[in-house]
Structure 1
Amino acid sequence: MLIILSPSKTINFHTPAPPFETTWPIFSSKANKIITSLRHFAAEDISQRERVSLKIAFATRDYFHSFSTTQHVGKPALFAYTGNVFDKLNPSDFSKDDINFTQEHLRIFSALYGVLRPMDIIQPYRLDMNSKLIDGLYDTWQEQVTKEISKLLKTDDNTLINLASAEYFKMLNQKQLPAHCRIITPVFKQEHNGKYTVNSLFAKQARGWMSRFIIENRISNPEHLQGFTEGGYYFRPELSNNKEWIFTR
């Protein structure tokens, strides 16, 4: 069973990561080319195109220029990304066995790196799939990302647990995934005025909780996900189908 997550825009490179064995991103050479193509942008251009504050734009520009294409420097992705998903995943207290399981069964999609293993070393960056700084990131990554995930699925029972956002899940060409691949997308909803709706903030938190639930319990049978109750959620079979499993609270 393979889990996919989105990255976060927020990062932490100030706190050192635990001393677990690290790896290097599979598609680092392509990441280097993308970074090189972005270095000509001034902060004002970044601010205007990405519709972000000048403070964020200057930080983004500095990331592009400080990015090393020759040295293996940085921090493992699992500990570098912050934000709601990774806060609730909370890998800070993972054991070595937890890390080993995560390294085998979790992948993080990235607009810069394509596909990341949790312990892949990354450098500070800010870039998403819908960036106005570079054209065609889906075309850039879809074939390689799909091939890499397909290879992993063939050795991991052909079951994909999609805990990524819609923006990043589109990096996959589902038609090119292995035959009989099973994709399950957990959807987390809140009750409001008698109706169940998706709240983006709460959904991100739940994705982190569910990822941790899978890791801590070494879940390999997707049906066991239906026992997830963190944060007050519970599985609703009457609202679910084969592709989307609905959890409400």
Structure 2
Amino acid sequence: MKLLLSPAKKIDFEQKVSSDVELKLPVFNADANELVRHLQELSSEELQSLMSISSDLANLNYNRYANWDFTDNKKSHFPALWAFRGEVYTNLDVETLSSEALKRANNSLRILSGLYGVLGPSDLIQAYRLEMGTKFSFESYKNLYAYWKSRTTDLLNKEIDRDNDQIVVNLASTEYSKSIDMKKLNAEVVTPIFKDLKGDNYKVVSFWAKRARGLMTRYILENGICDAEGLLGFDVSGYYYHTDMSKPNMPVFVRDH
């Protein structure tokens, strides 16, 4: 099984990392460095406009890219699963995962990234901000999807074939899952949907859906879930599988509060 997650905007390099983790550079580290070289050509004002962020955030990221470490010096890097600190990762709570769950994560969990393409949990990253949906054009590429899609799809297929995976659980947002050509993956793709009761209807609420993705990722890793049927037992934080709302390869989990 492969699990796909989106990254988080918030990054924190102060978390305690398990001593069992074997740290390594990302597969697409050289490709990421090439992207950074193009980003270095932009001014802080151009980054602000490109990313639709505040001037303070633009200055922060301008300085990050200006001071980018293109060497393999790991002192300026931090493992991805510990670095990201958004709602998904807060609820995945890597610091309390069991050693067995961490081993499963290294084999199965992949984080899609606008800068790094695909990251494993222990892949070392530098602090950055570059969302996959950013309309950044350079060389012959009209956007980041054009840059990454074939690279990331090919890599995942190599891993799927190597590990004999039968299923890919897509817990990434639409913005990031579009960076993979799902139809070309050599495995069944299952995309769980999380809905909360609002008034008389169940609706996808972004804030709660992000939390649920983290909770389900943790559930899969801690329980060693390895097939689509095993996902249906997810019952964390009040969620439960709703048969009638579900479709093939799109199980729906609801919460009544």
TM-score range, shorter chain: over 0.9
TM-superposed deviation, 1:46: 1.5
Give the conservation status (yes or no) of the 8 Å contact 2:167–2:227.
Answer: no
Q: C-alpha separation between the residues in 1 aligned to 2:116 and 2:50?
A: 21
Give the conservation status (yes or no) of the 8 Å contact 1:46–1:133.
Answer: no
Q: Which amino acid aligns with 1:230?
A: V
TM-superposed deviation, 1:94: 2.3
Distance 1:86 1:156, change over 3 A: farther
Question: Does residue 1:177 correspond to 2:180, yes or no?
Answer: no
TM-superposed deviation, 1:98: 2.1
The residue matched to 2:153 in structure 1 has which SS?
Answer: helix
TM-superposed deviation, 1:136: 1.7
Q: Which amino acid aligns with 2:151?
A: Q
Question: Does residue 1:189 correspond to 2:190, yes or no?
Answer: no
Question: How far does the alpha carbon of each residue in 1:117-144 deviate from its partner, in whole angstroms, 9 at most, with x for none?
Answer: 1100011000011213444211111111
Question: Does residue 1:75 correspond to 2:78, yes or no?
Answer: yes
Structure 1 residue runs without a partner (length 5+) = none
TM-superposed deviation, 1:16: 4.3
Question: Does residue 1:160 correspond to 2:163, yes or no?
Answer: no
Q: Which amino acid aligns with 1:6?
A: S
What is the TM-score normalised by the length of structure 1?
Answer: 0.95
User: After alignment, is 202-211 or 126-135 more displaced?
Assistant: 126-135
Q: C-alpha separation between the residues in 2 aligned to 1:48 and 1:113?
A: 22
Q: C-alpha separation between the residues in 1 aligned to 2:250 and 2:170?
A: 10
* Alignment map for 1:202-241 (pairs within 5 Å): 202-241=208-247
Q: C-alpha separation between the residues in 2 aligned to 1:87 and 1:60?
A: 23
Question: Does residue 1:118 correspond to 2:121, yes or no?
Answer: yes
Q: CA RMSD in A?
A: 1.3
> Corresponding residue for 1:109?
112
Question: Does residue 1:26 correspond to 2:27, yes or no?
Answer: yes
> Corresponding residue for 2:144?
137
> Corresponding residue for 1:128?
131
Q: Which amino acid aligns with 1:124?
A: A
Give the conservation status (yes or no) of the 8 Å contact 1:235–1:247.
Answer: yes
Question: Does residue 1:150 correspond to 2:157, yes or no?
Answer: yes
The residue matched to 1:7 in structure 2 has which SS?
Answer: coil
Q: Which amino acid aligns with 1:12?
A: D
User: After alignment, is 11-20 or 62-71 more displaced?
Assistant: 11-20
> Corresponding residue for 2:103?
100
Q: C-alpha separation between the residues in 1 aligned to 2:167 and 2:203?
A: 26
> Corresponding residue for 1:91?
94
The residue matched to 2:164 in structure 1 has which SS?
Answer: coil
The residue matched to 2:244 in structure 1 has which SS?
Answer: helix
Q: C-alpha separation between the residues in 1 aligned to 2:165 and 2:101?
A: 20
Question: Does residue 1:61 correspond to 2:62, yes or no?
Answer: yes
User: After alignment, is 90-99 or 118-127 more displaced?
Assistant: 90-99
Distance 1:41 1:16, change over 3 A: farther
Instruction: Name the % identity.
Output: 35
Question: How far does the alpha carbon of each residue in 1:135-186 deviate from its partner, in whole angstroms, 9 at most, with x for none?
Answer: 42111111111111112222233201000000111111123222xx211100
Q: C-alpha separation between the residues in 1 aligned to 2:217 and 2:91?
A: 9
> Corresponding residue for 1:13?
13
Question: How far does the alpha carbon of each residue in 1:5-38 deviate from its partner, in whole angstroms, 9 at most, with x for none?
Answer: 0101110023342322212100111000000110
Count of aligned pairs between the two proteins: 247
Q: Which amino acid aligns with 1:7?
A: P
Question: How far does the alpha carbon of each residue in 1:26-61 deviate from its partner, in whole angstroms, 9 at most, with x for none?
Answer: 011100000011012221221222221111111111
